[in-house]
C-alpha cells in the first residue's frame, strides 16, 4: 500500500498526476491531507476541479507557528501510519507537511519517497530549504526532477542507487489540464483581458511578505511596471499576502487583485500573460513549460534550470531592478523545458509499485 501525504495547494496540484496514476494502475493507496491549507480556494477547489478522490484522512491542523504546525502534523500522521502500515509514503516538495510527513514515517521505519528531491536555494533562512534537506536525507527513494538535482544529491553523499531522475510532475499536471482548461473555462473573458496584454503577479513567500520593507519594495515595483507598460496587472492574492498587506496597511490601488484561482483558470492566466512576476516555486517551473517569461522576486532560486535555459531571471525586490528586468524580458525568445516530458508520475508510481509488492 502507498500512503500519499499532502497539505498545501502546490502539493495537491503536483500530486494530482501521481494520484491519477495510482487510480489507473488500480493500486492500493490512501490520501492523507494534513489540512495545512484549508480555505476552499487553497484546497477543496483543486480536488473538485481536477476530479481527485477526496482524502481518506484530513488532520485539519490549520495554520500556526512552524513548531506547532509540524508537531501537530507529526502526531496525526504517526497514528494513521501506525494503523495503515503502508509499505511506502510519498511526500512532494518542501512544505512543513513534507518535513513532518517524512519525519513521522522515518521514525516508524516506513519507506519514504520524496518527489522533487535535490532542489537547493542554498539559503537556510528559508523554512523550505530546511524542509528539503531533512526530507531528502531521510528518504529512501529520491525522485529528482532533473540531472542538476540528481548531481546535488550525489554531492551531498546520498547513495545514487536511491535516486531516480523522473522529471517534475508539474509537467504532467500542465499537460493534463491545459486543454481541459481551454474547453472548460474562459477567465480572460471573465476578467475582460486580452492575450499578452496583461501582466500576472503572485507572491507569498514569508521572507518577502512578512518583512515590511521587502513587501513595500515589491508593491512599489509593481506600480512602476504598470505605469511603464500601461497594462493591467492581475494579482490572484495568496491569503498570507492579503493578511500582511492589511497588517502593514499598504494599498494595492491600481492593481487588479482577485481571489486565488482554480488551477484551470490559473493555467489560462499564466499561458496568456505577457510575462509573470512571482516568488512562487511552481510558477518558475510552469512559466518555463508554457513559454512565458518569468521574473522572480527573490535573490536566489532552487530552480536554477530556469535561469540556465533563460526563461527566468532573478530580480529581488528592488523596484527599479524589477522594472529593468521587465523591460528586458518582453523580447520574444524560446527555450527548452528542462523538467521532463510529462511521464514523471508514471515513473514514480512504477518504483513505488515494485517496492510495495
Residue 266 site contact among ligand UD1, ligand UDP, none (CB < 5 to 8 Å, cut-off depends on kind)? ligand UDP
The residues, any chain, with a CB within 8 Å of residue 183's CB and separated by 6 or more, are none
How do 256-258 and 233-236 pair as beta strands?
parallel
The residues, any chain, with a CB within 8 Å of residue 331's CB and separated by 6 or more, are none
- Give the E-state strand segments of the chain in sequence order: 2-6, 29-33, 57-58, 88-92, 111-115, 141-144, 163-165, 199-202, 233-236, 256-258, 275-278, 294-296, 312-314
Q: How many helices (H) and strands (E) does the chain have?
A: 16, 13
* Residue 171: CB minimum distance to ligand UDP, A: 11
* Residue 159: CB minimum distance to ligand UDP, A: 27
Q: How many residues bind ligand UD1 (CB under 6 A)?
A: 20
Restricting to residues 55-74, name those near ligand UD1 by CB under 6 A. Answer: 63
Residue 9 sits in the site that holds ligand UDP (CB under 6 A): yes
Q: From 8-16, 110-118, 287-295, 327-335, give the range in contact with ligand UDP by CB under 6 A.
A: 8-16
Grid cell of 317 as nine digits: 525586490
Residue 282 sits in the site that holds ligand UDP (CB under 6 A): yes
* Residue 77: CB minimum distance to ligand UD1, A: 15
Q: Which is nearer to ligand UD1, 206 or 351 (CB)?
A: 206
Q: From 118-126, 219-227, 245-253, 280-288, give the range in contact with ligand UDP by CB under 6 A.
A: 280-288
* Residue of 3, 17, 101, 260 interacting with ligand UDP (CB under 6 A): 260
Residue 338 sits in the site that holds ligand UDP (CB under 6 A): no
Q: From 34-42, 80-88, 112-120, 343-351, give the range in contact with ligand UD1 by CB under 6 A.
A: 34-42
Q: In what order do the strands lie in the sheet with 294-296?
A: 256-258, 233-236, 199-202, 275-278, 294-296, 312-314
Q: Which of 33, 37, 114, 204 is catalytic?
A: 204
Decide: helix, strand or coil at residue 150.
helix
Known catalytic residues?
204
Amino acid at each position: 500500500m502507498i500512503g500519499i501525504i499532502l497539505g498545501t495547494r502546490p502539493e495537491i496540484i503536483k500530486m494530482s498526476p501521481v494520484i491519477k496514476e495510482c487510480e489507473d494502475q488500480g493500486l492500493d493507496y490512501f490520501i492523507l491531507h494534513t489540512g495545512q491549507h484549508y480555505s476552499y480556494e487553497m484546497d477543496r477547489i483543486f480536488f473538485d476541479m481536477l476530479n481527485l478522490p477526496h482524502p481518506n484522512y484530513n488532520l485539519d491542523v490549520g495554520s500556526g507557528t512552524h513548531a506547532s504546525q509540524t508537531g501537530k502534523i507529526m502526531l496525526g500522521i504517526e497514528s494513521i501510519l501506525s494503523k495503515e502500515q503502508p509499505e511506502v509514503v510519498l511526500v512532494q516538495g518542501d512544505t512543513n507537511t513534507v518535513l513532518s510527513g517524512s519525519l513521522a514515517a522515518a521514525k516508524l521505519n516506513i519507506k519514504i519517497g520524496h518527489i522533487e528531491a535535490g532542489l537547493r536555494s542554498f539559503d537556510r533562512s528559508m523554512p523550505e530549504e530546511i524542509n528539503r534537506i531533512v526530507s531528502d536525507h531521510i528518504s529512501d527513494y529520491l525522485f529528482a526532477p532533473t540531472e542538476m538535482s540528481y548531481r546535488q544529491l550525489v554531492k551531498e553523499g546520498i547513495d545514487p542507487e536511491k535516486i531516480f531522475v523522473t522529471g517534475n510532475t508539474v509537467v504532467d499536471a500542465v499537460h493534463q489540464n491545459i486543454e481541459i482548461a481551454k474547453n472548460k473555462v474562459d477567465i480572460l473573458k471573465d476578467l475582460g483581458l486580452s492575450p499578452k496584454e496583461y501582466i500576472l503577479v503572485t507572491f507569498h513567500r514569508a521572507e518577502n511578505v512578512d518583512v515590511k520593507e521587502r513587501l513595500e519594495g515589491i508593491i512599489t515595483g509593481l506600480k512602476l511596471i504598470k505605469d511603464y507598460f500601461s497594462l493591467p496587472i492581475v494579482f490572484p492574492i495568496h491569503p498570507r499576502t492579503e493578511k500582511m498587506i492589511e497588517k502593514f496597511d499598504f494599498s494595492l490601488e491600481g492593481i487588479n487583485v482577485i481571489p486565488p484561482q482554480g488551477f484551470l483558470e490559473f493555467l489560462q492566466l499564466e499561458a496568456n500573460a505577457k510575462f509573470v512576476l512571482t516568488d512562487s516555486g511552481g510558477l518558475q517551473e510552469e512559466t518555463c513549460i508554457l513559454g512565458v517569461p518569468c521574473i522572480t522576486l527573490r535573490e536566489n532560486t532552487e530552480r536554477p534550470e530556469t535561469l540556465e535555459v533563460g526563461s527566468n531571471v532573478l530580480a529581488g525586490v528592488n523596484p527599479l531592478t524589477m522594472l529593468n528586468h521587465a523591460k528586458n524580458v518582453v523580447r520574444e525568445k524560446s527555450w527548452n523545458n528542462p523538467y521532463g516530458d510529462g511521464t514523471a508520475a508514471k515513473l514514480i508510481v512504477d518504483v513505488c509499485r515494485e517496492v510495495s509488492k
